[in-house]
Amino acid sequence: MSSVVLSDLCKSFGAIDVIRGVDLVIEPGEFCVFVGPSGCGKSTLLRLIAGLEEATSGTIRIDGKDVTDAEPSARGIAMVFQNYALYPHLTVRDNIGFGLSLARRPKAEIRARVEAAAEALQLTHLLDRKPKELSGGQRQRVAIGRAIVRDPKVFLFDEPLSNLDAALRAQMRIELSDLHRKLGATMIYVTHDQVEAMTMADKIVVLNGGRIEQVGSPITLYDTPASPFVAGFIGSPRMNLYDGRAVGESCATYGIRPEHLKLTDMAPRWRGTVRHVERLGADTVIHLDVPDLGDMVVRADGDRNPPIGSMLGISPLPGREHRFP
Amino acid sequence: MIFILPFVYILLMAVKTKQEAALFLFAWPSEWRAWENLVEVVQTRNYMLLLAYFNSTVITLGAVTLLVIFGAMVGYVLQRRRSPWNRVVYVFLLIGLMVPPAVVPTIWVLQNLGLFKTIHGMILIQVAYGLSFAVLLYRSFIASIPRALDEAAIIDGARPWQVFFRVILPLLKPVTVTLIVVQSVAIFNDFTNPLYYLPGRENVTVQLTLFNFQSQFQSQYNLLFMNILLVTIPPLLVFVFCNRQIVAGMTSGGVKG
Amino acid sequence: MTTRRRSPYPYWFVLPAAVVFVTLFLVPTVASFWFSLTRWDLFEAEFIGLENYRQFFREPFLVQGLVNTLIYAVVTSGAKSVLGLLLAVLLTSGIWFQGFLRSVVFFPVLVSTIGIGIAFAALMHPTRGAINLALAAIGIEGPAWLSDPALALYSVALIDIWKGVGLATLIYIAGLAAISPDYYEAARIDGATAWQRFWRVTVPLVRPATVTVVTLSLIGGLRSFDIIWATTRGGPGFASDVLASVIYKQYQAGFYGLSTAGNVILFLLIGVIVLPMTWGCSKREVDVGACAAMAPVAA
Ligand SMILES: Nc1ncnc2c1ncn2[C@@H]1O[C@H](COP(=O)(O)OP(=O)(O)OP(=O)(O)O)[C@@H](O)[C@H]1O
Ligand SMILES: [Mg+2]
């Protein structure tokens, strides 16, 4: 179990600043998720920690040791890539054992460690296949096996599940969480996926334009987002955000989540015309047109089905409004 | 028919008697002398043909081996590493591909290096002339190998040369086969370069024997054609066994329309 | 940041290849510009300015070599692209033994040029050669092919076309395969005849292949030496001399400076003719590297 500490980390590609002064502490054994819009620098930050990119300035410490200039293999990390990056010409066994064989470990030891890792991931019966003879989920497991066998201090994942279908993704999510619990290792995980971030993370780091917007537990980010950006990014459907003056508030931005709006005819705060209705079963998502504000999304009970064009009254739940200065 | 008849002609001429061959007729030989002619060709000038086969084989094997390794290494670095030099290198590669070698100055350089009239000099010449093709072929293939593979190997603790030899090179097998086939035919059939850079009897190559025998066998066309036949056999074998690779190589991405 | 980590793609990978390429190709190429301005015996070079070039353009037979080179390159590359396209269309039309015929057409590409040259020299013998005997059998008096000064160059070109058309065909077959059948169906629905489909669909759409074929065979034609040397040695007289054979003859005669001047003229010729073509070629997104793919065989 190791901590990862980034101080004032910067990275530019030529004239483009991609990472702009990141300070971050990841505690030993923590499952830390990086989220943010596409192109915000999540992968770059992960690759800086891995040592695949060189920092322009700032330092990276793993387990208290400055590794800013260390070779990737000397950092005690393992990485799982989005497209698995399995060596196509090697069998599953040799893929998992590649690092050990480079390190010239004895054959017997390699064999034992590879088989232990395969066992843990239910890959034993696939050990002599080539990657192209495996399904997506199996390939992903091999990639994880290749990471485990290195016995790293820190695991790095770059959108590892994004190539899997929805059902498999849900299953792998649980498996990864189990693995984290079992190994107790520090894990850093990049994703686009809200659900992955909310369900797996001990700590979420929201990145925007190469800077950290907010760091905190999933619930903290949901309940008390520090900025409209974070508020809009965490939670689905996304929070309704309006100019403060338009809703008669003194703050710069006013926000209210769709699930924190209730439909009411008793002195509603706003009235809107139903423009579109999405019935998801458990709930119904209603898109309304509110005069002066524009679009407003409300999450209502699954049995609500207001006709398009009808007029509804809406009020926020008390204490659930967000006001950003 | 037009494409086959000349080969039939070569075959027929090669098995005729001396008198019959001298008539140049496209006719069935009255007497099959294949074996006698073969033995005679091989024995002429102290088994020069065998020596030539040996030399040609050494040159071809040596040059092709170096071309595979050098070409793949250069293509790899060129594809993977962005640098302002890449454009310059690319221009030089194109020049190397199109521009014919400057013969006499090359002889001058070879002489100064002590490589003139030597087999290894010839090997290096073939490497220099074939390099552009090899590099460009490898470069475009390596572009299709994801970089994440290199990175996975680096994280697994591979040194740069291990990344190359243990991960990348094995993946290059299809182009490598193509390169080997195309280049060995080209080098084995090369006439001009040995003519300039390998004069002298002890270093003859197969193509040079043909040329030498052409004057020597003025009156023995059967032997000359037997020689042609023998020289045609290696490419024929390559053709029969590697037709697919050749076709793939010749047209590889050649037309992306 | 003081200690920069080393790149995983080190430049020393390039070094051995670069050394060979630079010393054995680039240095001689660059040096040739200097040596072409000298009277030279491989040991001492005496600067004589443009005298070699002046001599080159004064001697009619050297000028003829230059003209022959151009004729030869244009004739061979023109014929190879036209015949190559026709053969490719024929060999993709689903006729019998298609695969076998493709192999047959392609095989001469792989055979020793010298061997082919010698065989054709016998076949083209004016009185006893099989070609003229066959022509005589149907009542035509065949020409003297290689020994007629007016015809020798074209006879050699004919052999070259015979040997090289297989490569052009192969490239065209790949080019045709890349054309989506949708175009043909659309044309057919529009009521185009087979002839119109060929001119309006096939020819424009195999253009990348045409560029490749023309470029390759032009380069090959301009550099051509083996086949000429094996058949006519530039003769009769200087009738079929091209730059490459002139370079060799001057070298044999010990005129190293003059020979090198011929070499420089050949560079310039190739540069002037081919560079604009490859440039246009890469503009049109045809991979120049792949155009290159056939160079070793074409050369
Ligand atoms: N090697 C590079 N050279 C130049 N710019 C780069 C390079 N790698 C990344 N970038 C730029 O850096 C920015 C951040 O890229 P990065 O891959 O880290 O984004 P990301 O957050 O992972 O996005 P995504 O969610 O789409 O994967 C992008 O604008 C990208 O164009
Ligand atoms: Mg990314």
- Looking at this predicted complex, what is its ipTM? 0.84
Touching C: B residues 52-111, CB under 8 Å:
66, 70-71, 73-74, 76-78, 80-81, 92, 94-111
Q: Is B137 on the interface with C (CB under 8 A)?
A: yes
C-beta atoms of C128 and B196 within 8 A: no
pLDDT tens digits for range A160-169: 998 888 888 8
User: C130 vs B192: CB contact, 8 Å cut-off?
Assistant: no
- The encoded tokens of residue B11 equal 């075959």
Average pLDDT over residues A145-150: 92
Q: Do B228 and C119 touch (CB under 8 A)?
A: yes
Distance CA B48, CA B54 (A): 10
CB < 8 Å to B207, chain C: 112, 114
Residue B135's contacts (CB-CB under 8 Å, 6 or more residues apart) are B71, B74, B75, B78, B93, C17
CATH of domain B5-251: 1.10.3720.10
Determine the pLDDT at residue A313. 93
Closest by Cα among B8, B251, A108, B117 to C130: B8
pLDDT at A223 over 60: yes
Q: How far is C4 from chain A (nearest CA, A)?
A: 7
Quick one: closest CA in A to B170, which residue?
A89
Instruction: Report the distance separating Cα A83 and Cα A85, nearest Å.
Output: 6
Q: What's the gap between Cα C122 and its chain centre?
A: 24
Of C164, C59, B32, the closest CA to residue C156 belongs to C164
A13 C-beta closer than 6 A to ligand 1: yes
Q: Which chains touch C (3 or more CB pairs under 8 A)?
A: A, B
- B10 three-class SS: helix
Concatenated DSSP letters of A138-170: HHHHHHHHHHHTT--SEEEEESTTTTS-HHHHH
CB atoms within 10 A of CB C153: 24
CB contact under 8 A, C28 and B73: no
Alpha carbons B206 and B232: distance in angstroms, whole number: 10
Tell me if A284 CB under 6 Å of ligand 1: no
What pLDDT is recorded for position C147?
81
Q: A203 has which bridge partners?
A: A32
CA atoms within 13 A on the CB side of B74: 30
Whether the CB of A266 is below 8 Å from some CB of chain B: the reply is no
Mean pLDDT of chain B: 83
For residue B205, pLDDT beyond 80 = yes
C-alpha A76 – ligand 1 centre gap (Å): 24
Which range in A214-223, B33-42, B190-199 is most confidently predicted, on average pLDDT?
Answer: A214-223
Give the nearest chain B residue to C257 (CA atoms): B104
CB of residue A38 inside a 6 A radius of ligand 1: yes
Q: Which residues of B touch C19 (CB under 8 A)?
A: none
> Within an 8 Å CB–CB cutoff, is residue C1 touching chain A?
yes
Tokens, residue B226: 């037997």
Contact between B152 and A81 using a beta-carbon 8 Å cutoff? yes
Question: Chain A: residue nearest B147 by CA?
Answer: A85
**Is C31 in Cβ contact with B109 (below 8 Å)?**
yes
Token pair recorded at residue A33 = 């998720």
Look at residue C293 in the predicted model and tell me its pLDDT: 43
Q: Is A42 in the pocket of ligand 1 (CB under 6 A)?
A: yes
**Cα(A44) to centroid(ligand 1), Å:** 6
Cα–Cα distance measured from residue B62 to residue B183, given in angstroms and rounded to the nearest whole number: 11
For ligand 1, atom 22, the nearest C-alpha belongs to A43
What is the average per-residue pLDDT within A52-59?
Answer: 92
Computed over its alpha carbons, how large is the radius of gyration of chain A? 24
Confidence at residue A47, expressed as pLDDT on a 0 to 100 scale: 94
C127 at A interface, C-beta within 8 A? no
DSSP C33-47: HHHTTEEE-SS-EEE
Domain C65-298, second-level architecture: Orthogonal Bundle (1.10)
Within 48-87 of B, beta carbons closer than 8 Å to A belong to none
Please report which confidence band the pLDDT of residue A200 belongs to, taking 50, 70 and 90 as the band edges. very high
- The pair of three-digit structure tokens given for residue C223, joined into one six-digit string: 């550099």
A-C CB pairs within 8 A amount to 12
Domains of chain B, residue spans: 5-251
Show the domains of chain A with their CATH numbers.
4-223 (3.40.50.300), 237-324 (2.40.50.140)
Query: Smallest Cα–Cα separation from A33: which of A231, A203, A221, A208?
Result: A203
Q: How far apart are CA A158 and CA C72, in angstroms?
A: 59
Task: State the distance from the centre of ligand 1 to the C-alpha of A41, rounded, in angstroms.
Answer: 6
Contacts of A98 in chain B (CB under 8 A): 153, 156, 166
Query: Given a cut of 80, is residue A25 above it in pLDDT?
Result: yes
Measured between alpha carbons, how far is A247 from A293 in angstroms, rounded to an integer?
A: 8
Q: Is A154 in the pocket of ligand 1 (CB under 6 A)?
A: no
Task: Tell me, yes or no, if B157 comes closer than 8 A to chain A by beta carbon.
Answer: yes
Q: Which of B12, B64, B77, B104 to mutate to test the interface with C (most CBs of C within 10 A)?
A: B104
**Tens-digit pLDDT string for chain C (299 aa):** 444 567 888 888 899 999 999 999 999 999 888 888 888 877 777 888 888 888 888 888 888 889 999 999 999 999 999 999 999 988 888 777 777 788 888 888 888 888 888 888 888 877 777 787 778 888 777 787 888 888 888 999 999 999 889 888 888 888 888 788 888 888 888 888 888 888 888 888 888 888 888 888 888 898 889 889 888 887 787 888 888 888 888 888 888 888 899 889 998 988 888 777 766 555 444 444 344 444 444 43
- Cβ neighbors of A149 (< 8 A, separation 6 or more) are A96, A97, A99, A100, A113, A114, A117
> What was the pLDDT predicted at B1?
64
CB distance A229 to A208 below 8 Å: yes
Contact between residue C157 and residue C228 where contact means Cβ atoms under 8 Å apart = no
Q: How far is CA B5 from CA B82, C90, C130, C162, in A?
A: 52, 20, 10, 12
Could you tell me the pLDDT band of residue A277, with boundaries at 50, 70 and 90?
very high
CB within 8 Å: A146 and B152: yes
Residue A2 beta carbon below 6 angstroms from any ligand 1 atom: no
Question: Probe ligand 1: pick from A12, A18, A33, max atoms within 8 Å of CB?
Answer: A18
Residue pair B100/C244 in contact (Cβ under 8 Å)? The answer is yes
- One-letter amino acid at C179 equals I
Cα nearest neighbour of B188 on chain C: C112
Angle, to 10 degrees, between the axis of helix C152-177 and the axis of helix B221-251? 30
